[in-house]
A and B are shown apart, each in its own frame.
Chain A
Amino acid sequence: MARTVSFITLGLFFVSLLSGFVILFAYHPSSAFASVQKIEFLIPFGLFFRKLHYFSSEAFTFLLLLHILLELSKRKIYLSAASWNYSVLGFALVIVLMFSGFVLKADLSANAAAQVAFSLIKDTPLLKNLLPLFQDSSVFYYKFFIWHILFLPLILGYAIYKHTRALHVEAIYFSIAIGLSLVISMVFSMPKDIILSSKVKHLSSPWFFEGAENLLLKSFSPLSINLILITPFVLLVAYFYMKQKNIAKILLFSWLLAYSYISVFLS
């Protein structure tokens, strides 16, 4: 079971990678929203690949979470210290990738999410020095684009390589992954892009970011929010070295519960 999940997860990673590769050429950071709309409405199969990219990525993230939960439930860790740490890094990178992908759709909610992220970074000591890595004065989406299509996938690829020790997937799982993505793409529809000129009372951020935004609305300081966000990764790293694994497990689980609660009920 756990093994199947992990392979399908990897398969989904490849689907996401390939579908992303297709639409990346039609994406122009300088006219980001227009190009997204062109992909959706004008380019043949544009909408198909966009949906495929969207749903495969979402499914990948969910299965990754499931994969982590399943592995944590096992008593024994089969990974070395280095590859464990690479794995946690990979998990963090997936979240960042998801977030940058959300921003790159360039609609009103993406814009708002980016602004929220910027202000989170800006008002946190040390972290604020990283701002130039994401902010571009002339083309807003340029650096997000570079990170999303180049560096993040490369580093993630390396992390996965370190995690699985081989960067390949058996064809059967890959097919399942493709099949799964296709089915989801056919059945569900993506959330609609929100035109920049429209007046919407509530803009939704990416689902994993809702909690942070709610905390911000309750006027938590950016530093504390950042700490909250980093907590699970730190716990995951600590998990490997801790003898009382159950404590880490409980901590992780309670974090998950707390964050879910904040995400859902605190708005």
Chain B
Amino acid sequence: MKLKNILSLLALLSLFVLVFSIFSNETKITKKITKPDQCMSCHADMSDIDHAHPKEIFGCASCHGGNKWATNKKDAHRDMVLNPARLEHASIFCIKCHKNIIKRISNSMMNSQSGILNVLKYQWKESKELNSTIGIADIRGDTNISLAQSHFRKLCAACHINQDEKIFKNQKIARGGGCSDCHRVSKTKGNLHAKFTTRIPTKNCLKCHNRSNRIGLSYEGVFESAGYGTPYKHGDFTHKMSDGRRFYYNLPDDIHHKSANMSCIDCHSEKGVMGDGKKHYHMEEAEDIKCKDCHEPHFKKANTLALTLADTNEKVPEPKIIAYTKKFNSPLYNIQKDGNKTDFYRKIDGKKFNLPKMSDKPYHTLAIHKRLDCSACHSLWAPSCYGCHEVYFENGKQFDWVKRKDTKGQWQELRSFLRFENPSLGIGYNKKIMPFAPGCQVIGTIFKDKKVEKFHSMAMAGWDPHTTQKKSRTCVNCHFNPSSLGLGRGNLDIKDGNITFTPIYDSTKSGMPFSYPIDAFVSAKGKQFQSTSRKEARSFNRVELQKIVGAYKCIICHDSYSDKIYKDFNKSKKLFYSGTTTCLK
């Protein structure tokens, strides 16, 4: 009976504890909970990540995970995420609010690198399919690794936004980290949380866009030099690039950089950069902005996205009437209509500039040049790296950026020579005439045990080199310049109505496995020597070369666009050949 009492006593006691704890301590308990999560009881002095995610509302756990109710470090930090911006974490945390963006960026080319991978496989003749969306995620588990894939893994795959930052030995050139690859502007130090922003500095873009077609460098007027490191200063090399291995020199920078110090994001809209959610084959399909979107803008009322973007930007004034891109109809909230003027606001600091419209002078309106892309005339130079000699040691070891560890096989890159002047022209991916440069001229040597194998894949690629100048190339610079025409360097002339061309470079004697000059895209007779990376892209053909060079005969004297003979060039030609003009008399 006594024990029975104890039993009832215990029962009562526990009930009492319950009542005591829950009802009388309700206020105390709620007080004990720091807002918005328990993390703040230790990390109250952590600074905000940006103004859109104040810690008073978001706390830590909504992004970093962990147990936000826990009152001790061990429990609180269990299963916590250090960098929730990495896409696999972002798809748990960030996605709660940024649902679309996470999906879009995950499918974007900066994440999948499908453009590089598939063009590489196509050019190395491992795949006939140029249009494919196979990306890093799809090859991660591959065990049978082809040559192109090995090359991709060891040399290209370092740059994708979801790369692991920690694996870079040189932390100065670390890339990746998911959202933070672009959006982070400072690293966490003590109680200063890494700062995030939508005002992405060019510096962040340049972490990756400094090789291959090098648009990031070219835009700032930086050209990778021949590696001399001259001039020497203080007993050391100068003009070192941030990676410490390459050198550069300064060439004319892009007019947008020169005149307004514009950043990449001033043109490249969020949709163009982070994608529209679809998996694209090539860069140009994902790209949103066109020169005309700004220089021949069509305005509409600002939509909610524009207002949101301007609000997160903080510097650009609230948009009312703004320009939209033609392709994806995405708002360019920093191109604002102000009466008859068009104002451009620099996204980094909100500084206002007057945006010049495309003039309607004959050079922009004449039909004879309607096939030209803006870049064909307005790009002054393009980084052209001739001869990409790849050496592969099958028994070597090199870091695999997909597996993130050393694996078998080692690549080494050698080259022939560099040029930047008079980039070749050709028919680009948009079927318009645009600058071309080697991309890539691979002459490979493979060391397999004791055997040596050779292969080559010569290709030219067309792109906007981002070296836009206000003043265009001159008429002669295209119409009678062998380098611009894609013939290479040498002596161009017309004999008996035919184009003649004597090249300077002797590929055979220089040891190349082909006979045409290495800088020749096409022969004077219109035979294309090198392949391209798009189905639509090609060199000029025989007829086009004849036409372009043929027009030079008139350009000698009629060297201005406003010359009336160009208003209807075909008619003028007829008149000339009928002998009724005063020409040459």
Contact = CB atoms under 8 A, between A and B. Distances in A.
B79 A45 contact: no
Nearest to A49: B14
B18 A25 contact: yes
Contact of A42 (B10, B32, B92): B32
Given A26-B22, A171-B4, A171-B7, A41 B14 contact: no
Interface of B is mostly: helix
A255 to B, nearest CB: 37
Interface stretch (A97-105, A150-158, A196-204, A208-216): A196-204
B21 A45 contact: yes
Interface in A18-62: 18-19, 21-22, 25-26, 34, 37-38, 40-46, 49
B25 A37 contact: no
B418 interface: no
B452 interface: no
Interface in A152-176: 170-172, 174-175
A198 B32 contact: no
B29 interface: yes
Nearest to A17: B11
B557 to A, nearest CB: 73
A34 B61 CA distance: 13
B67 A37 contact: yes
A195 interface: yes
A110 B69 CA distance: 18
B3 A198 contact: no
A41 B79 CA distance: 17
A37 B61 CA distance: 14
Contacts of A25: 18, 22
Contact of B21 (A44, A175, A193): A44
Contacts of A44: 17, 20-21, 25
B29 A175 contact: no
Contacts of A19: 14
A22 B3 CA distance: 21
A172 B1 CA distance: 10
B70 interface: yes
A174 B69 contact: no
Interface in B184-240: none
B65 interface: yes
Given A174-B7, A198-B79, A38 B18 contact: no
A41 B71 contact: yes
Contact of B70 (A22, A37, A43, A197): A37
A195 B14 contact: no
Nearest to A41: B71
Contacts of A200: 79
Contacts of A21: 14-15, 18
Contact of B3 (A45, A49, A175): A175
A42 to B, nearest CB: 5
A171 B78 contact: no
A42 B33 contact: yes
B75 interface: yes
B78 to A, nearest CB: 6
Given A22-B18, A49-B14, A195 B29 contact: no
A58 B185 CA distance: 52
Contacts, number: 81
A178 interface: yes
Contacts of B70: 37, 41
A180 interface: no
Contacts of A197: 65, 79, 81, 92-93
A200 B65 CA distance: 13
Contacts of A192: 75, 78
A237 interface: no
B17 A194 contact: no
B15 to A, nearest CB: 7
Contacts of B18: 21-22, 25, 49
Interface string A68-100: 000000000000000000000000000000000
B92 A171 contact: no
A221 to B, nearest CB: 30
B65 A195 contact: yes
B29 A171 contact: no
A199 B6 contact: no
A49 B29 CA distance: 17
Given A37-B69, A40-B69, A199-B92, A45 B17 contact: yes
Contacts of A174: 3, 7
B3 A170 contact: yes
Contacts of A43: 21-22, 25, 29
A18 B32 contact: no
Given A18-B14, A37-B70, A195-B66, A172 B78 contact: no
Interface string A176-198: 00100000000000001111011
Nearest to A48: B17
B533 interface: no
Nearest to B63: A197
Contacts of B79: 194-195, 197-200
Contacts of B471: none
B21 A178 contact: no
A178 to B, nearest CB: 7
B69 A38 contact: yes
Contacts of A26: 21-22
Contacts of A38: 29, 69
Instruction: Report, nearest first, the 6 A-B pairs whose CB atoms are least far apart.
Output: A171-B3, A198-B79, A37-B69, A197-B65, A22-B18, A41-B71
19 contacts: A18-B10, A18-B11, A18-B14, A26-B21, A34-B69, A37-B70, A40-B69, A41-B38, A42-B69, A43-B25, A43-B29, A45-B17, A46-B21, A175-B6, A192-B75, A193-B67, A195-B65, A197-B79, A200-B79
Given A41-B70, A45-B21, 8 more contacts: A18-B10, A41-B69, A43-B29, A44-B20, A193-B67, A195-B67, A197-B93, A200-B79
Interface of A: 18-19, 21-22, 25-26, 34, 37-38, 40-46, 49, 170-172, 174-175, 178, 192-195, 197-200
